[in-house]
């Protein structure tokens, strides 16, 4: 097990409905030492990619992205979620469905902060069905930029997002891939990587 898998075993809580709660270290209270290790690991895994910007999505992606960005020496742009239909200004927009919240959001990034010159590393905390990521990919594409890689903290391997994204040919690295969880015993099964 790597450091993140170990932490999930120690402090993650398996909930009914295939939900893994990691709010004591990842997406509510945040363990910055852990994020720093994640940054170091992403830097190692994406050492061959030429990255000049990190793009993530609010809210939980932002903290991780900021610490990861220290390891790449690049700025972070976070996509904003908005339910309003009349968004003004010069923005890239993608429609994103939320599995957990059962709603649709528009995800927006100002055209000022993404262009065809950008070589982007996408960062997020979770990958489940991949709708959030597909939205971010669409936004980078609209800008004419390049997605050089995708770094995820926890991938839920039993949902289809990871497969979809890899089949599209993206360099996707997930620090922990959860292939199964048992709410009765609290057991988490990780994919060997």
Element (H, E) at 122: strand 119-127
The three-point CA angle 105-107-111 to 5° equals 155
- Collapsing DSSP to helix, strand or coil, 15 comes out as strand
Q: Is 61 in the site for Na ion (CB under 5 A)?
A: yes
Decide whether 82 or 89 has the Cβ nearer to Na ion: 82
Binding-site string for ligand G4P from residue 55 to residue 94, where x marks contact by CB under 6 A and - marks none: ----xxx---------------------------------
132 labelled ligand-binding: yes
Q: Is 126 in the site for ligand G4P (CB under 6 A)?
A: yes
CA dihedral 77, 2, 191, 35 (to 10 degrees): -20
Judged by CB under 6 A, the residue of 5, 41, 118, 125 near ligand G4P is 125
Q: Is 130 in the site for ligand G4P (CB under 6 A)?
A: yes
Decide whether 60 or 105 has the Cβ nearer to Na ion: 60
What phi and psi, each to the nearest 5 degrees, are found at residue 99?
-65, -45
Q: Is 98 in the site for ligand G4P (CB under 6 A)?
A: yes
What 8-state DSSP symbol labels residue 111? G
CA distance 148 to 158: 25
Q: Report the binding-site residues for xanthine.
A: 20, 27, 156
Q: Report the binding-site residues for 5-phospho-alpha-D-ribose 1-diphosphate.
A: 128-132
């Amino acid at each position: 097990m790597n450091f993140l898998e170990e932490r999930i075993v120690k402090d993650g809580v398996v909930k009914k409905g295939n939900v893994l709660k990691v709010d004591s270290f990842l997406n509510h209270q945040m363990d910055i030492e852990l994020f720093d290790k994640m940054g170091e690991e992403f830097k190692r895994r994406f050492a061959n990619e030429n990255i000049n910007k990190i793009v993530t999505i609010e809210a939980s992606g932002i903290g991780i992205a900021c610490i990861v960005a220290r390891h790449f020496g690049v700025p972070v742009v976070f996509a904003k979620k908005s339910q309003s239909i009349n968004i003004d200004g010069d923005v890239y927009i993608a429609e994103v469905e939320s599995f957990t919240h059962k709603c649709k959001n528009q995800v927006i990034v100002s055209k000022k902060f993404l262009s065809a010159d950008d070589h982007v590393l996408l960062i997020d905390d979770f990958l489940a069905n991949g709708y959030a990521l597909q939205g971010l990919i669409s936004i980078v594409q609209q800008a004419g930029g390049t997605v050089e890689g995708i770094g995820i903290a926890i991938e839920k391997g039993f949902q289809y997002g990871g497969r979809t994204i890899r089949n599209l040919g993206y360099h996707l690295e997930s620090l922990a891939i959860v292939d199964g969880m048992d709410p009765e015993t609290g057991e988490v099964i990780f994919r060997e990587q």
